[in-house]
Amino acid sequence: KAEKALNFIEHIVEEDLANNYKRDDLRFRFPPEPNGYLHLGHASSICLNFGLGESYNAPVNLRFDDTNPAKEEKAYVDAIKRDVEWLGYRWDKECYASDYFQQLYDWAIQLIKEGKAYVDSQSSEEMAKQKGTPTEPGVAGPYRDRFVEENLQLFQRMKDGEFDEGKHVLRAKIDMASPNMLMRDPILYRVLHKAHHRTNTDWCIYPMYDWTHGQSDYLEQVSHSLCTLEFLPHRELYDWCLDQLVSSDKLRPKQREFARRNLSHTIVSKRKLLQLVENGVVSSWDDPRMPTISGLRRRGYTPESIRNFADTIGIAKRDNLVDVSLLEFHVREHLNEIAPRVMAVLNPLKLVITNYPKDKEELLKTENNPGDESAGTREVPFSRELYIEQEDFREEANRKFFRLKLGSEVRLKSGYIIKAESCTKDTDGNIIEVQCTYDPKSKSGSGTEESLRKVKGTLHWVSIKHAITAEVRLYDRLFNDENPDGHKDKDFMDFVNPDSLTTITGYLEPNLKSAKVGEKFQFQRLGYFNVDTDSKPENLIFNRTVTLRDTWAK
């Protein structure tokens, strides 16, 4: 494999190593907020951070950014850990911003004592009015010059639970005229009377993102704190917060930004994905139509395909929209290597071989993966009455129709050459049965002259009396628009595709009887399928991961 070019973050790291950083200084983190399941956008950040860890043999922490108990839950923490592990990454330390609540509080006290923070007792509307606009400076509010003693007392009382939410906040005292709005006395703490999934009711004041993230990086001695571009204006505040506490013998973390990953035909925002779940558009966070890691896993995606996808697009400095068909390309490529081939019929048409003995049956040997001899072979039962796909038979068709038509021949996969002789229709004119004859000497692999005869077209089939049934779920895109979230006048919900799920009964070769949850197969000519989480031996369920070809290509 060719040596890959360094991405721009790796260039930054290389430059740091060439200057004042030692290899041992390098440490990264992936910092999800446990307020939802991880999605494909996160996968990009995971692959970036853990990828850097692998390249530089540096530790990577998994840090839960759990400062808003109103939205966060232990169940999300567990799901996030499961997904990162499933993607194939191992973190060094499992950390929680909530573990630093006491330290962050102590540092806030220090700020107050130094005259760099104050308790503001105005409403959020009043504070917003004083903030100014990007082109006009803000003005000081009436509490900006409160005495240190009063600030300390009020902050203590906030912590002790004496005040309702919104009555008081703690603000940094920086610069109400800064060109950067975020530097105009940002809020550091607010009162929230909510139990936290880890600290329970120990706290009723919670630190804001900007007062938490850089300090957490500092406490963990993260060297490069990588985040998405919308945090670029926060960098100045990140640095200001660190300036208040960094000691010279410790490493000072630096924030650097990369572009968010956006994907066509889908949504990557936990808040909006939660809406899909809550409104019943999908059944759950891991519904196979969801762009979540757990949804993709259930759909049949492999960790390798997601990592290869992330690797191929890399990271960018500017926002961009990546076509989701690239992800489909990667999963096809991987499943083509690893998924055993099987035969299943999803839209059955009965085929009777009139010259095949009535009570005869036989086992036909067939390969599990034509591209991989080590995958071996298996046997599939064959008999006089079979199912083929309805789409594979026409009474008449032009020469380009390489399937079955009256008077012409096809080969049944790993079986015989057959010739369609006649068909039967119901009163509405629908074809309900095809009668054909077979050439007994044409059996695949038998070495006879007839077996080597070339016919155009090979069809998959199952023997009716041996077939097992399964529920088969076919998926289409969840949104009918390339960029459902990109319309000013419309909500992403307006673009939900009402036909994104079709459930049918499939007829499968009996070898699939023992298929286990998460096992992947290629149903020949139909696509790749994964055994669903809810599948039971007596009620098999398969999800179509992807079709064999990109049917979306324009």
- Residues near Mg ion (CB under 5 A): 33
Helix (H, G, I), strand (E, B) or coil at 292: strand
Say whether 61 counts as a known binding-site residue: no
Say whether 424 counts as a known binding-site residue: no
Nearest distance in Å: CB 43, ligand ATP = 8
Residue partners of 525: CB distance under 8 A and separation at least 6: 460, 548
Residue partners of 302: CB distance under 8 A and separation at least 6: 331, 334, 335, 338, 520
- Note whether 224 binds ligand ATP by CB under 6 A: no
The CB-nearest residue to ligand ATP is 41
Residue partners of 276: CB distance under 8 A and separation at least 6: 267, 282, 290, 478, 496
Distance of alpha carbon 230 from alpha carbon 528, whole angstroms: 38
- Identify what 410 binds: Mg ion, ligand ATP, none; CB under 5 to 8 Å per kind: none
Distance of alpha carbon 47 from alpha carbon 30, whole angstroms: 9
Active site residue 544: no
Say whether 34 counts as a known binding-site residue: yes
- Identify what 255 binds: Mg ion, ligand ATP, none; CB under 5 to 8 Å per kind: none
Paired with 411 in beta bridges are 417, 458
Binding mask 183-222 for ligand ATP (x = CB under 6 A): ----------------------------------------
Nearer to ligand ATP, 65 or 328 (CB): 65
Q: Which of 79, 191, 227, 327 binds ligand ATP (CB under 6 A)?
A: 227
Nearer to Mg ion, 277 or 386 (CB): 277
Nearest distance in Å: CB 319, Mg ion = 16
Say whether 440 counts as a known binding-site residue: no
Nearest distance in Å: CB 377, Mg ion = 50
Nearest distance in Å: CB 225, Mg ion = 13
Nearest distance in Å: CB 31, ligand ATP = 5
Active site residue 260: yes
Q: Which amino acid is at 224?
A: H
Distance of alpha carbon 478 from alpha carbon 290, whole angstroms: 8
Nearer to ligand ATP, 270 or 384 (CB): 270
Catalytic option among 146, 159, 184, 270: 270
- Note whether 154 binds ligand ATP by CB under 6 A: no
- Note whether 527 binds ligand ATP by CB under 6 A: no
Q: Residue count at the site for ligand ATP (CB under 6 A)?
A: 16
| Ranges within 504-523 binding ligand ATP (CB under 6 A) | none
* Helix-, strand-, coil-residue percentages of the chain, each rounded to 5: 30, 25, 45
Say whether 35 counts as a known binding-site residue: yes
* Tokens at 528, concatenated: 């790749």
Q: Which of 31, 207, 288, 295 binds ligand ATP (CB under 6 A)?
A: 31
User: Could you tell me if 549 and 416 are in contact, meaning their C-beta atoms sit under 8 angstroms apart?
Assistant: no
Give the length of the chain: 554
Nearest distance in Å: CB 494, Mg ion = 22
Q: How many CB atoms lie within 10 A of CB 10?
A: 17
User: Tokens 């940002």 map to which residue?
Assistant: 186
CB under 6 A: which stretch of 31-39, 196-204, 360-368, 516-524 binds ligand ATP?
Answer: 31-39
- Note whether 260 binds ligand ATP by CB under 6 A: yes
- Note whether 33 binds ligand ATP by CB under 6 A: yes
Q: Which amino acid is at 525?
A: R
Active site residue 33: yes
| Ranges within 73-132 binding ligand ATP (CB under 6 A) | none
Task: Tell me the DSSP string of 499-517.
Answer: TSEEEEEEEE-GGGGGPPT
Nearest distance in Å: CB 320, ligand ATP = 11
Say whether 228 counts as a known binding-site residue: yes
Residue partners of 440: CB distance under 8 A and separation at least 6: 355, 416
- Note whether 261 binds ligand ATP by CB under 6 A: yes
Nearer to ligand ATP, 313 or 375 (CB): 313
Distance of alpha carbon 82 from alpha carbon 62, whole angstroms: 12
Distance of alpha carbon 84 from alpha carbon 99, whole angstroms: 21
Q: How many CB atoms lie within 10 A of CB 110?
A: 13
Q: How many CB atoms lie within 10 A of CB 254?
A: 18
* Of the candidates 78, 51, 82, the residue with the CA atom closest to the CA atom of residue 66: 78
Nearer to Mg ion, 484 or 527 (CB): 484
Q: What is the 3-state secondary structure (H, E, C) of 154-179?
A: HHHHHHCCCCCCCCCEEEECCCCCCC
Say whether 65 counts as a known binding-site residue: yes
Say whether 336 counts as a known binding-site residue: no
Nearer to Mg ion, 33 or 239 (CB): 33
Residue partners of 217: CB distance under 8 A and separation at least 6: 29, 225, 253, 255
Catalytic option among 167, 256, 260, 413: 260
Nearest distance in Å: CB 100, ligand ATP = 17
Distance of alpha carbon 131 from alpha carbon 141, whole angstroms: 9
Q: What residues are labeled active site?
A: 33, 260, 270
Contact residues for ligand ATP, defined by CB under 6 A: 31-33, 41-42, 44-45, 65, 227-228, 260-261, 268-271
Going by the annotation, the residues of the binding site for ATP are 33-35, 228, 268-270
